[in-house]
Amino acid sequence: MSYPDHGKYEWLPILYDMVSELKPKKIVEFGPGSGCTTIAMAKALDENNIDGHIKSYDIWDDKYWGSRGVTQAEYDAWSVSNYITLEQLDFYSWVKNGCENFDFLYFDINNTAEKIENLYDVVKNQIKNGSVVFFEGGSKERDLHGHNGGGMYEIKDKLGYKILTGNVKYSASAIYNTEIYNLDFS
């Protein structure tokens, strides 16, 4: 199990384990930023001989997150570029163009309740059919720290998401069909 030390996301091992267990062929990621989360997923594919690929999309809206070139250089440095196609694409353009199919989706675009709900609305049929969504946030504590207000926890039952971490700021959650999966990664 190898990936960069994120410094904040202590749940990267859960992301790694989930990809290792689910063996997704097609992963879509929104918000790689500088690339830690993509590398964790790509290493899970590589180290478990999974025949999967990651389409990773970002708009690099803040220079804190670098640029496409800087993120790509991180993938190269970790020898995982073969597993990843990195593109500049806005989540809302993806929605407008009808969304693409995926087995596993990682979502991390400065998440708010509104963005998670928007995502859920456009992928709920895929989730019903077995696709899994993993997103940053979801805990009560996280709602106290979001840039754009809280409210994620209030839609927990409506969306049926499961919090994968403790009640901490840097939390992570997943939405999946519980009639298909019995996932426990905590």
Closer CB to ligand SAM, 11 or 176, in the complex:
11
Place of tokens 């202590």: 10
SS3 95: helix
Which CB sits closer to ligand SAM, 86 or 127?
86
Longest CA span, the chain: 42
Binding site for ligand SAM (CB under 6 A): 30-33, 36-37, 57-62, 65, 90-92, 108-110
Q: How far is the CB of 123 from ligand SAM (least distance, A)?
A: 15
- CB closer to ligand SAM out of 36 and 54: 36
Smallest separation, CB 138 to ligand SAM (Å): 14
Which tokens is 86 given?
């990195």
Nearer CB in complex with ligand SAM: 62/157: 62
Contact status, residue 31 vs residue 69, Cβ threshold 8 Å: no
Is 21 within 8 Å of 52 (Cβ atoms)?
no
Minimal distance, residue 34 CB to ligand SAM, in Å:
6
- Report the sign of the C-alpha dihedral through residues 41, 37, 101, 127, in that order: positive
